[in-house]
Structure 1
């Protein structure tokens, strides 16, 4: 019976997600028409969203690997910083692809160091992660003063020019869809713009990131290695009693976690830009951790969260009216949440959501302008809102953040 029921359950879950995606598309399309902001779903906005989302996806995957084996990796930010510096240094010395390999290696080393501190030496996981973040900032500046200062275009806070990873496009697809996109028909033209945006000028690292999402899902949920790793995150003592070495699995998971974060750093210097700059990571490691919680420790949902954050981040580079249109989106979303809270008879949530819906609607009708300071803060505000809305339905691994000692378990 279970063998028959499981595929139906999986199909129903995917069906619900497709319905949500369609409803979101209909909402954004309607808002773009009401607010007269065609740039909201343009191919440029979609392409920019991908560029901003990929580093967050990779950081989120790094956090997923770490937390699925029971270790909190707050050091993702520092591992991404090391990835940016290593990618810029090796990319400047040799080629961008060598820079990518160096960034992955640098991130993996710091991931293994996090494992050494937390697994072998018993250092608190949060303390170790914070130490890595602080050390990465200082190390990047120190190494830049040695290797970048005095080079053409380089300095103590930035690297010389680094080459970029190549882009690919689906031949003929943009030309075929351009007539449909130019019709300006709601939804249909928007879908054409989205398809053009995700198939034209796509970086090879973006394709690699998409493959890593699928690969992470397959390894973690369809292989015996992934089963052992997840068992160490749920109940390391039980896994140890069955012959699985939790410490060894955590070393492996944290090394992969650091490598993925380093790859996210490489993306920032070889795709999103062509140089290393101090402060370039800008909190993406922490936002990646937020996507892990938003995605309930699942790769696919994590990716959706990263795309959401990337979309709001990309709007900072678009027209100012595009950001204003999101006021309508926020008002509609909070109105929907108000109805759900009323049905659930949750008075506190009903009041909070209703106030938010009325406030956003009043802001749009009364002012219609989003201050530039708020636009810069939008990705971080989105992170806070998403976490506050998702906290009641999350199910973290039971052994997350808990150190394991075989002597204490016995």
Structure 2
């Protein structure tokens, strides 16, 4: 008698409870949920600025520096080097962009900003890669060095012209472009003030109106970074330095060279983020302190995006939106967001109940109750609080996202050739 042993087939992950939604589909689903929450909030609270084209344009303009800083952090940290110095590199980029832009125009300013930021990245690479300085210590030093250098150069070169050591003379800007006649049609739909339709028109209209070449370049750099880092032999070698540099070295990868390249590119991207504060419309020129910690917020956007280009794009959009909203309409719109946050948390609670994660569902429900209580029992928020909306959003987002983060395995670790 022959025993027949059959191997049970694995559970079909494409049917029943095993079905898993693709990552891109989950992102689109949550984008749709967020849009519905903001749209409902806009009409329930009587604050159309939440989805107006003007707010979206401001969000794009303010989100571009954060996006470029986040991309800079991505390049450095995928190679295993923590770049806390993004803020200092952005400051160097603002000064370089203003100086060259004033002399020779916005295109020269863009190149100079990238060069000045790359110089900051080079200093960081020398300290961390060659001399083995702690990455956090070196990054903090770069921030102090960048601010001090920009202040010295501003006093030396700008003060004789502008009569103010803290700012530059007006700098020429890039022209802006709108997609016509699409932008006009969307504006007409937005003016109708119809639930959902006008909200979508306002958001899309803000994305295709008043767009500068620097904005186009920033968005182009997101897929370019993905293709280079995840779809090329160069990117594979660079990422291997951030995951296991000893194994990469054993396979013939020059780890030092790739770390240098990554950190210098990181500084150049942060410098471009500084240029976005100078060469895009809305700012006269260089102004001391104008980065306003956007380098740190860019780092937070990168972490929120789990060290992936698509994820950090979403983080930059979120932080840019919160910044643009409080600048466009102040405490009224920020106060209305508590209602929208309540709706989102109710959806999160439902999802956690469906997953039978009772503790997480309870936390989400309590948070929703707190958000709604703040909205119901207050008429507005203090101006001193709304001015720090992007920073508060940064803290909340990092707290929520901390459970699913997966940084490069060797990120921040000191590497010495020949050790194993």
Matches within 5 A, 1:262-281: 262-271=271-280, 272-281=282-291
Structure 1: stretches of 5+ with no match in the other structure: none
Query: Who is 2:76 aligned against?
Result: 66
* 1:88-147 CA distance string (max 9 Å, x none): 111112212111110100111111111111000111111110000011111111111110
Query: Is contact 2:190–2:202 with CA below 8 Å preserved after alignment?
Result: yes
TM-score, reference length from structure 1? 0.94
Greater shift, 238-247 or 14-23, is seen at 14-23
Matches within 5 A, 1:193-342: 193-271=202-280, 272-319=282-329, 320-340=331-351
Q: Please tell me the root mean square deviation across aligned C-alpha atoms, in Å.
A: 1.8
Query: Who is 2:397 aligned against?
Result: 386
* Aligned counterparts of 1:207 and 1:78: Cα–Cα separation in 2: 24
Query: Who is 1:21 aligned against?
Result: 31
Specify the structure having the higher radius of gyration (Cα). Answer: 2
Query: Who is 1:79 aligned against?
Result: 89
Q: CA deviation at 1:161?
A: 0.9
Query: Who is 2:412 aligned against?
Result: 401
SS, match of residue 149 in structure 1: helix
SS, match of residue 318 in structure 1: helix
TM-score, reference length from structure 2? 0.92
SS, match of residue 70 in structure 1: coil
* Aligned counterparts of 2:358 and 2:148: Cα–Cα separation in 1: 48
Query: Who is 2:188 aligned against?
Result: 179
Aligned length: 400
Distance 1:354 1:10, change over 3 A: closer
Q: CA deviation at 1:10?
A: 11
* Aligned counterparts of 2:32 and 2:124: Cα–Cα separation in 1: 41
Structure 2: stretches of 5+ with no match in the other structure: 1-12, 14-18
* Aligned counterparts of 1:175 and 1:144: Cα–Cα separation in 2: 42
* Aligned counterparts of 1:309 and 1:81: Cα–Cα separation in 2: 19
SS, match of residue 344 in structure 2: helix
Query: Who is 1:360 aligned against?
Result: 371
* Aligned counterparts of 2:294 and 2:55: Cα–Cα separation in 1: 19
Query: Who is 2:198 aligned against?
Result: 189
Q: CA deviation at 1:180?
A: 2.1
Distance 1:65 1:237, change over 3 A: same
* Aligned counterparts of 1:131 and 1:244: Cα–Cα separation in 2: 29
